[in-house]
Amino acid sequence: MTATPIRRLAITSEGTTLADLVDPRFGRAGGFLIVDLESMATEYVDNGSAQVRAQGAGIQAAENLVRAGAQALLTGQVGPKALSALLACHIRVVQGVENMTVGEAVAGFQAGRFAWSDGPGY
Amino acid sequence: MIVAIASGKGGTGKTTVAAALATVWSRPVLAVDMDVEAPNLHLFLKPETVAATRTCLEVPMLDVYLCQRCGACADLCQFKAISLMGSSLILFPDQCHGCGGCLRVCPEGALSKGERELGTVELGFTASGIPCLTGRLRIGEAMSPPLMTKVRHRMHAIADRGTLDIIIDAPPGVSCPAMTAVQDADVILLVTEPTPFGLHDFRLAWQAFTPLGKPMGVVINRSGLGDDGVQRFCREKGLPILAEIPFRRDIAEHYASGGILTDLDGAMAALFAALAPELERMAGQGGDASHA
Amino acid sequence: MRELVVISGKGGTGKTSLMAAFAHLAEAKVLCDLDVDAPDLHLIAEPAIQRRGPFLSGHVAEIDPAPCTGCGTCLEVCAYGAIQARGASFAVDRGRCEGCKVCVAFCPGQAIDFPERLCGTWYQSETRFGPMIHAQLDPGQENSGKLVALLKSQARKHADQLGLDLILSDGAPGVGCPVISSLSQASLALLVTEPTPSGLHDLERVSDLCRHFRIRSAAVINKADLSRPYQAAIHQLCLERSIPVVGHLPYDRVVTEAMVRGQAVTEGAATPFGAQVRQVWAELLPLLAVSSSSSTQENPS
């Protein structure tokens, strides 16, 4: 998957805990759970500032992730503009992560079951 | 004189009316298709295109060496066309609304004018010599108003205010694009159909356009199809019904084959020929007609 | 979750009339009217509003005449012609204001406020066809697609809460922002067209849009008997693009008659047209990959 170890992993989330479901959207997701993969400490980042935007929600969400120090993102779909923003900030992206809890997504990532996504999701 | 043909509901017959009116207009006239998302007027007027201009919006370009990453541009931009993420300033030209604010606010002069393609503006002439202007939005371009504004500028340049009358085929609905299309009009012609959907959306159109203070007249298309709710609404609000096009299968089939209504029979030609002086009279009146 | 989005490119092809029939025929779904500019589905569905909320989007500039010195900087920097002289001061034309904030930023006296803009209202309602999410944009407001996104999100949440896995969405005409937003996460786009020059032309544009955003599509030809040549042309286009044509519906007054009665065309007495609409729905179901509901019998009375 990757040589650089990822420590701070972001997952789009419908809630504030590992038991909540992954939110398949990125730009208009309610929030992100940032997981420190060494300590397994979690931190919730609200994505409201992106949700309220008429346009550019994905870009604002990317800004929110950068500010939170995320190094990689697990989500369902990312639009093309947000994706280029994330990659420009060296945040790796896995798409197609949905219909599971955040905890299951993290476990899947650590077990090496996901591949990085290259293209936009829409 | 500028006539805008609008409606709340799509598919009521704006383009049908615009094409017919342009054909029988007694003075030199410019036909303008401002429904840039789904332009159809040319399918009926069939102009021969003489010019197709790729039309662009000014959007920012960044000189990365001059940029000090102060973030003033990103702070100002309301549309996320510029974003400062970590130590990178990233541009998203698709988001840009062309306000020019970032260019003004940059202390280093690191931003300059680039462009994003909005679509095309085509100029053509019908067989009988009527000039036609068509705006066509690039697929994937999300916003209509910027291209519509370019069409409007070209329209004014060609018509030279007073030399040519202008007939505008507006987009359906009552949100931003429709308002952009009618803003130059001296009179608005609302096309509706006498059905519950038609009446509902017609009421929305009346609510949206009344504050503009322009005289408004009505054409009822497919008259006889549904009920008389639209007629009653017009009477209630003092909106003049300038014409009723009957609901007839032969009219629908003529339209379906790309025919202009005034070619169908003498009655149709006369109906539209009578509209023009009425519209002129209303335009001359100014904004005192049809305020509820 | 499966979502069917019904769009057309050209207005007036019969999207909403068809949607009303699907709303009647489908079981266990949430309805969503995404044509927030000129919504009509509620005229048939007759929603009883359960919840409503304001729709705020963007901002608008407002000049406070008290601190204003009349310098005219705002007029100079406005790219949209939204600033007009008013007495010794200036005023913003809300209809033209783009909400770009440039005048606010450059006003030397900080005399310009920048409040959020109330653009409309959204609703969560109950109808005889099940739950419905809809909205009304205030006249003249920008239709960016944000309200559409909000409605789709509400529909999904509501469907999840009720344990439903199908959303039926009535789309908007055109190919701009609201339509693009409508297509997000759609399982299938149903393109409603008519055999006319405009119908064919706009079908091509809306199909281009679906391809651009990689959304699967199917087509239905309404008022199909109006023109054989154009019907053939539409078939040719659909064949070239591998778009399945799920039905041809004739030009029939029963649609308007049902609308005037406030009914979907499949409600009330059985008609040949109604039977054909049922057939279209039956063709659509496997494309949506939803488990078929138990057959709804045509009411013989």
Residues B175 and B218 in one domain: yes
Identify the domain containing residue B68 by its residue range.
Answer: 58-116
pLDDT of residue B126: 96
pLDDT of residue B287: 43
Residues of B (74-133) whose Cβ lies below 8 Å from C: 76, 78-79, 97-101, 104-105
Inter-chain CB proximity C144 and A55 less than 8 Å = yes
Q: Name all chains with 3 or more CB-CB pairs below 8 Å to chain B.
A: A, C
Q: What is the pLDDT of residues C203-221, one digit of tens each?
A: 999 999 898 878 899 999 9
pLDDT of residue A82: 85
pLDDT of residue B25: 94
pLDDT of residue C137: 86
- CATH number of residue B187's parent domain: 3.40.50.300
Final residue of a domain: which of B94, B116, B138?
B116
Inter-chain CB proximity B78 and C173 less than 8 Å = no
Confirm whether C295 is domain-assigned.
no
pLDDT higher than 80, residue A118: no
Residues C9 and C130 in one domain: yes
Inter-chain CB proximity C226 and B208 less than 8 Å = no
The neighbour count for residue C237, using CB atoms within 10 Å, is: 17
Flag whether residue A99 sits within 8 Å of chain C, measured between CB atoms: no
Confirm whether B239 is domain-assigned.
yes
Inter-chain CB proximity A88 and B88 less than 8 Å = yes
Final residue of a domain: which of C114, C149, C184?
C114
Reading the block at residue B56, the tokens are: 């662009």
Residues B252 and B210 in one domain: yes
Confirm whether C299 is domain-assigned.
no
Reading the block at residue C281, the tokens are: 């729905």
Residues B25 and B105 in one domain: no
CA distance C51 to A77: 29
Residues B145 and B224 in one domain: yes
Residues C149 and C220 in one domain: yes
Confirm whether C207 is domain-assigned.
yes
pTM: 0.83
Residues C65 and C45 in one domain: no
Confirm whether C48 is domain-assigned.
yes
**What share of chain C has pLDDT > 90, as a percent?**
71
Question: Which of C175, C209, C260 minimises the CB distance to B196?
Answer: C260
Identify the domain containing residue C73 by its residue range.
Answer: 61-114
Look at chain B and report how many structural domains it folds into.
2
**What share of chain A has pLDDT > 90, as a percent?**
58
Residues B200 and B249 in one domain: yes
Reading the block at residue C101, the tokens are: 């904030």
Q: Largest Cα–Cα distance of chain A, in whole Å?
A: 38
Confirm whether B245 is domain-assigned.
yes
pLDDT of residue C11: 83
Chain C residue with CA closest to B196: the answer is C260
Inter-chain CB proximity C37 and B226 less than 8 Å = no
Q: What is the pLDDT of residues B155-181, one digit of tens each?
A: 999 998 568 999 999 998 888 889 999
pLDDT higher than 90, residue B292: no
Confidence of residue B141 (pLDDT cuts 50, 70, 90): confident
Q: Note whether ipTM > 0.85 here.
A: no
pLDDT higher than 90, residue A25: no
Residue B129: C-alpha distances to residues B39, B106, B168, B272, C162 (Å) = 20, 49, 17, 19, 61
Our CA-based measurement puts residue A51 at a distance from the nearest CA of chain C, in whole angstroms, of 9
Inter-chain CB proximity B9 and C223 less than 8 Å = no
- CATH number of residue C246's parent domain: 3.40.50.300
Final residue of a domain: which of C71, C95, C114?
C114
B219: β partners: B191, B243
Inter-chain CB proximity C213 and A122 less than 8 Å = yes
Confirm whether C273 is domain-assigned.
yes
Question: Best mutation site among B69, B77, B82, B85 for testing chain A: the one with the most A CBs within 10 Å?
Answer: B85
pLDDT of residue B253: 87
- Beta pairing, strands C112-113 & C62-63: antiparallel
Flag whether residue A77 sits within 8 Å of chain B, measured between CB atoms: no
CA distance C153 to A57: 14
Residues B19 and B160 in one domain: yes
pLDDT of residue B225: 86
CB contacts, 8 Å: A75 with chain C: none
pLDDT of residue C9: 86
CB contacts, 8 Å: A14 with chain C: none
Q: What is the pLDDT of residues C54-70, one digit of tens each?
A: 998 889 999 999 999 99
pLDDT higher than 60, residue A121: no
